[in-house]
């Protein structure tokens, strides 16, 4: 969306995990620049696709980015035979990259923050780019560049809850918590930056008006961090009579009956909590910043407000014993999540 707004011709190819059907379309487009997002669970697939890109489009400049690349930049540059890698938030970095290329200034790419590059056999990792503070300045995702109807099929994106035409929206970036397994801070950092309520509502209205979306799952690491923001958001949904089913992720420490009731009244159908373990020893080792009792309380509050709950768990923590595993089973039975 940022590249399109900056005047560049852009296509999006969401390559199927199991076949190479869209490679021919990419080849026909013949772009000067190809950017490929890499998630860790798709590394093998990404390696295959990057080889195809280099084979079919030898003149194209290949950039790789995303969470996996941000966590392992030097390794990723080599593994995917990329010309460059981008660490962290890529919107403005790629805008500047494409600006340099369009002006015939490719050598200047290596001066940009957030760029990883090969300097005569040595991988150079430039200082990171600054996090984007004004998220309202970023245009809404360019969903029109995809056959977006194909992404709106049931059972939907809210785990365990049937919806007909659902999608995801991100209202903030960054997470203040320090859970040791999470890579969120690798891309978005610890400082939480929020879009304005008006900006988020604008995207939701576009989704409903253009695509008939009836449900949204908010992908923020912790949607409920800023209570004043959540209250304003819920009040605005009701004031505008926006009929939307929605779900989000919440940390158990943010459980608040007044907030949860307001969320329920504005269309919230499910809260997802990262429970992880029923053992306080394991929770401390994971730096989860919660206890089993706090978890139980959060589920009680959600149930009291008539909100479905989803609980996620982690097994195999470094300090975990059989007794800790049993405590997790016991807590799961005690809190009785819907999913």
Pull the structure tokens for residue 333.
């039975």
CA distance 269 to 244: 10
pTM: 0.93
- Which residue, among 259, 244, 243, 246, has the nearest Cα to 304 in the 3D structure? 259
**Averaged pLDDT score across all residues of the chain:** 95
Q: What is the pLDDT of residues 158-217, one digit of tens each?
A: 999 999 999 999 999 999 999 999 888 889 999 999 999 999 999 999 999 999 999 999
The reported pLDDT for the residue numbered 111 is 96
pLDDT at site 185: 86
- Say how far apart CA 162 and CA 331 lie, in whole Å: 26
The string of pLDDT tens digits covering residues 300-315 is: 999 999 999 999 999 9
Q: Percent of the chain at pLDDT above 70? A: 99
The torsion angle over the Cα atoms of residues 235, 238, 241 and 243, rounded to 10 degrees, is: 120
The pLDDT of residue 184: 86
Ranges in the chain, pLDDT < 50: none
In this prediction, residue 14 carries a pLDDT of 86
Q: Which of 254, 248, 164, 170 is nearest to 204 (CA)?
A: 170
Closest CA to 275 of 229, 330, 223, 319: 330
Cα–Cα distances in angstroms (integers) from residue 54 to residues 47, 61, 65, 81, 175, in the given order:
11, 9, 16, 8, 36
């Amino acid at each position: 969306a940022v590249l399109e707004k900056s005047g560049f011709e852009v296509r999006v190819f969401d390559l199927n995990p199991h076949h190479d059907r869209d490679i021919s379309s990419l080849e026909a487009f013949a772009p000067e620049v190809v950017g490929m997002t890499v998630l860790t669970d798709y590394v093998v697939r990404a390696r295959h696709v990057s080889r195809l890109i280099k084979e079919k489009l030898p003149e194209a400049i290949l950039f790789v980015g995303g969470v996996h690349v941000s966590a392992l930049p030097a390794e990723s540059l080599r593994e995917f035979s990329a010309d460059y890698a981008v660490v962290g938030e890529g919107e403005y970095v790629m805008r500047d990259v494409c600006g340099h290329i369009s002006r015939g200034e490719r050598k200047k790419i290596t001066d940009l923050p957030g760029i990883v590059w090969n300097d005569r056999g040595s991988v150079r990792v430039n200082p990171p780019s600054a996090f984007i503070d004004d998220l309202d300045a970023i245009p809404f995702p360019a969903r029109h560049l995809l056959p977006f109807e194909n992404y709106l099929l049931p059972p939907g994106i809210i785990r365990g809850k049937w919806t007909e035409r659902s999608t995801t929206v991100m209202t903030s970036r960054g997470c203040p918590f320090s859970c040791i397994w999470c890579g969120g801070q690798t891309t978005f950092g610890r400082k939480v930056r929020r879009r304005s309520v008006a900006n988020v509502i604008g995207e939701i209205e576009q989704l409903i008006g253009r695509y008939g979306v009836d449900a949204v799952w908010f992908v923020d690491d912790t949607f409920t961090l800023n209570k004043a923001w959540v209250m304003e958001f819920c009040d605005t949904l009701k004031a505008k009579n926006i009929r939307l089913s929605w779900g989000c992720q919440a940390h158990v420490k943010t459980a608040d009956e007044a907030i949860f009731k307001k969320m329920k009244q504005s269309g919230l159908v499910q809260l997802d909590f990262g429970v992880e373990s029923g053992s306080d020893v394991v929770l401390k080792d994971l730096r989860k910043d919660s206890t089993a009792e706090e978890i139980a309380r959060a589920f009680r509050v959600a149930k009291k407000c008539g909100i479905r709950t989803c609980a996620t768990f982690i097994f195999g923590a470094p300090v975990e014993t059989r007794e800790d595993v049993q405590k997790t089973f016991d807590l799961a039975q005690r809190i009785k999540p819907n999913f």
